Amino acid sequence: MDKKLFVISGSSGVGKGTVIKKFLERNSHFMLSVSCTTRAPRDGEVNGVNYFFLSKEEFQNCIDNDKFLEWAEFAGNRYGTKKKYIKQCLDEGKDIILEIDTKGALQVKKQMPESVLIFIAPPSFEVLENRLRGRHTEDEATIQKRLMEVKEELARAEHFDYKIINDDLDRAVLEIEKIINGENDA
């Protein structure tokens, strides 16, 4: 059976957003799942497009009512993927990409062993730190919190199906295409 659900994780600032955007431009039949989060929107982010921005109470309500396929806390905020959304896409025969953190990715794998986990790794820790600071979207305390998460994420990435290094955008995109096509040819 064709693989339908691909989970892509990577440390903050690793450039996974850019890699995924480029992949989607070239593979337009893939849907990118829209997650829920309790974090505040960044400049330019739109509710329902980048995320569904929920209050802490709304998010808790979804947890209590078992609405999430997976959810995780990341750098002080909560993020989650709605079961209903994924089920609907799969029922419609769509291929889906989830861009979620490594804790969430391992939960998805447990519940849906047919999912394929791909980790995008930075060329080095220093490169990652520079990229994170360079985007000027977070304050210093937030950056510190995110860097601490990086080490734990690298450890969890050992359980992923694939690891790719994002030292070159085009090459990283080609590698993802190769993995996805390879899985579907298998």
Q: Candidates 20, 99, 109, 132: give the one binding ligand 5GP (CB under 6 A).
A: 99
Q: Candidates 59, 101, 147, 166: give the one binding ligand 5GP (CB under 6 A).
A: 101
Q: Nearest distance from residue 30's CB to ligand 5GP, in Å?
A: 16
Q: Nearest distance from residue 137's CB to ligand 5GP, in Å?
A: 8
The alpha carbon of residue 109 and the mean position of all alpha carbons in its chain are separated, in whole angstroms, by 13
Residue closer to ligand 5GP (CB basis): 39 or 67: 39
Q: Nearest distance from residue 50's CB to ligand 5GP, in Å?
A: 8
Q: CA-to-CA distance for 83 and 59, rounded, in angstroms? A: 14
Q: CB of 119 within 8 A of CB of 162? A: yes
Encoding tokens for residue 121? 């790794």
Task: Verify binding: residue 72, ligand 5GP, rule CB under 6 A.
Answer: yes
Q: Is the dihedral of CA 120, 95, 101, 45 positive or negative?
A: positive
